[in-house]
Chain A
């Protein structure tokens, strides 16, 4: 649905050049919620702004819903007619809502429809529908100044949906909101994604956001995507930094023995494989850490256990666990931690 190929963006300000994007290949499939995370300055906002050409990339291509936006006419800051038309099919929600304070909630939602030239009656109807959809049916006549942050963002979302877009872009849409409001807004996005088949590309710096709504995620660092994939794939990849951030287990490890990290998803989370293992092989297992969470709507668990002896002594039990459909990563044989404690987002 959204594809970027070798996207680069160089900003020149006061003679100095900043490479905000250094060759980004993004691929967001139709109907998924895709999260982009990364440290401040990684280029996340630049990337999402390139997707609807608010920022014109220095090189590379952007294709949204089959239309190659980078091929459409327009200068750096003025969009041609075709690009403007393409943008009408791409909704965008903003961190600071960007609602017009001079217009009522209803009129704010009508704005994109005025721009498309829809007649008054049809605008009214559509705006009322959308406000109902985001749960603000009773607030049509209020001004943004009279709403809470969460309500403002709902208006922002209703407005973004006015043009019946296939794609919704969201740059830190929940960053200005408290945790509970964040949850309700994310829930709304998820619902819209499922009910309207909306493809959502969202930028966030909160792993919890990715955990609760995303199907796929990408990690950006220094203008590049360093890791990406569906959450399921990422979590079953023992080397994934994102998975580790999504699902931290801490750095605890005993003084010696073999430390394993076991990841289980879906149905295997219900089975008592640890006690089976201990019984079958008569091993004294030491559980260093464990957690089960719902990530992207799936039950995912991860456990760090310590087995006595070296790796070669434990080949059979490890094989047993793998046979159970579990993902097993051997972390270390000596108790030293193989991966640093440096967080992805720190």
Chain B
């Protein structure tokens, strides 16, 4: 295969992968974030402490996390069909991707939010803030760098999973790698795809780190950044 043969295929597959990962990330953020916060709030000592809710949510998250992605991919086929109307193509792959990533991200969110100093929660309460105010004014903003960092990790995991989904008819770069690189022995093409995935992951990590650094205002870190910017 020449580069001219590869290029349009690569272009379409990249778009598919980005769409898959993008939509799955969005859904993960939308559901994983509140779930992670709920895990903290309902825990012992939390503002909404509620044993049963905490146990149930915790159990669901644990089950979701412990299922291997390949199994999720297959087990969710009926659900996927119900949601997007089909079980093949990149659209179908977004469903298991999101379902797999939600509990993953939720746990990371939980850890990040737990890292927020309890004194800040107390400060907001002492100034008359509601639980919602505590979440919005203290927990989320203070955990933001860690939340972004967790999202970066999640997106990278999603890129990996999306390639896996591609191998079972999910479209995107993984699909390309299987159909050309593996089944048609196009080793050169395979290498190009691998390089692209590596570049993609590196890019995401770089952007994530950059955002985290911009968001951190903690003491020395800010001082250093400020000095660099001034220099």
Contact with A along B198-231 (1 / 0, CB 8 A): 0000000000000000010111111100000000
From B29-37, B86-94, B123-131, B188-196, give the one contacting chain A. Answer: B123-131
Question: Is there a chain A Cβ closer than 8 Å to B137's Cβ?
Answer: yes
User: Could you tell me which residues of chain A, from 54 to 108, have a CB within 8 Å of some CB in chain B?
Assistant: 54, 77-79, 84-88, 90, 92, 94, 96, 98-103
Question: Given A52, A78, A100, which contacts B126 in the complex, CB threshold below 8 Å?
Answer: A52
Q: Is the CB of B144 within 8 A of A102?
A: yes
Number of B residues near A (Cβ < 8 Å) is: 31
Chain B CB within 10 Å, residue with most, of A84, A90, A159, A160: A84
Which among A52, A78, A85, A115 has the highest number of chain B CB atoms within 10 Å? Answer: A115
Please measure, in the bound complex, the distance between the C-alpha atom of A96 and the C-alpha atom of B221, giving whole angstroms: 20
Which of A78, A102, A145, A160 is in CB contact (< 8 Å) with B219? A145
Known pairs A88-B127, A102-B215; A146 contacts B137 (CB<8 A)? no
Q: Given A143-B222, A146-B219, A146-B223, does the pair A111, B141 have CB atoms closer than 8 Å?
A: no
Docked Cα-Cα span, A143 to B142, in Å, equals: 13
Residues 137 to 172 of chain A near chain B (Cβ within 8 Å): 143-146, 159-160, 162-163
The verdict on A98 contacting B120 (CB below 8 Å), with A84-B129, A143-B222, A145-B222 known, is: yes
Max chain A CB contacts within 10 Å: which of B122, B125, B127, B215?
B127
Is A184 among interface residues, defined by CB-CB distance under 8 A?
Answer: no
Could you tell me how many residues of chain A have their Cβ less than 8 Å away from some Cβ of chain B? Answer: 33
User: Which of the listed residues B46, B129, B133, B222 has the most CB atoms from chain A within 10 Å of its own CB?
Assistant: B129
B220 CB contact (under 8 Å) in A92, A99, A145, A163: A145
Chain B 98-135, CB-CB to A under 8 Å as 1, else 0, gives 00000000000000000001011011111111110100
Judged by DSSP, the binding face of B is helix
Closest residue on chain B to residue A108 by CB atoms:
B123
Q: Name which residue of chain A comes closest to B138, CB basis.
A: A100
User: Complex Cα distance A85/B138, Å?
Assistant: 19
A62 to chain B, nearest CB (A): 14
Chain B residues closer than 8 Å to A99, beta-carbon distance: 123
Q: What are 29 A-to-B residue pairs whose CB atoms are below 8 Å?
A: A54-B122, A77-B46, A77-B49, A78-B48, A79-B128, A92-B127, A96-B119, A98-B117, A99-B123, A100-B120, A100-B137, A100-B138, A101-B217, A102-B142, A102-B144, A102-B215, A102-B217, A111-B124, A112-B127, A112-B128, A115-B124, A116-B128, A143-B217, A143-B222, A145-B220, A145-B223, A146-B222, A159-B127, A163-B128
